[in-house]
Chains A and B, each alone.
Chain A
């Protein structure tokens, strides 16, 4: 059973517009969430994270929003750039373990 779900396998956005990637989770014990970005033939790289004590974290063009009551988080990229084209993985953990639970990923394509 997938505890972390990314229901959109792909997303296509025009350069300069906003990209919104969504992630849902089922385990109410999760208290730390991360986004990783993955280019082809490379390993995932850390992008941004958020603790459950916050509802928003911002880093440049990237902002992660957390809605604990809905068990939902989203990653906003503004403005989107062609170099943002990659697969984005959402991950979560309950803090009581060192394990990250990853989603299946969303492939973002930013076109000119």
Chain B
């Protein structure tokens, strides 16, 4: 298995532009998580899905952020409009089970976003 695939790996954009980050989860892994990593706050959970359904989006910082999971093979995190403070590394993670924390989360390689 190729693991969690994220694209692009790097994104540089200008303030005000729309940014779309993509995640292809591991086949058969039914929970999907989007995280943001910054120096000041570490890894923050933004939103997670179980069986393609959003369960908790309380970590989404603002209405400028939105996430979708139209099917079990694909998820997007969109920022519109982007701002310099959104610059961070964004990770997608999967877990096989929809519950039970003893099941490991597998992380993708991340997308490094820079908003100028």
Contact = CB atoms under 8 A, between A and B. Distances in A.
A2 B42 CA distance: 10
A111 interface: no
A43 B31 contact: no
Interface in B73-102: 91, 93, 95, 98-99, 101-102
Interface string A72-112: 00000000000000000101010101111111110000000
A32 interface: yes
B104 interface: yes
Interface in B16-62: 31, 35, 39-45, 48, 50, 55-56
B109 A43 contact: yes
Interface string A39-56: 001111110010000000
Contact of A102 (B44, B101, B109): B44
Interface in A4-34: 4, 6, 32, 34
B93 A43 contact: yes
Contact of A41 (B93, B104, B109): B109
Interface residues of B, number: 28
Contacts of A42: 109-110
Contacts of B104: 46
A98 to B, nearest CB: 6
Contacts of B69: none
Given A43-B91, A102-B42, A95 B4 contact: no
B42 A104 contact: yes
Nearest to B4: A43
Contacts of B41: 2, 104
Nearest to A93: B101
B93 A99 contact: no
A104 B40 contact: yes
B43 A98 contact: no
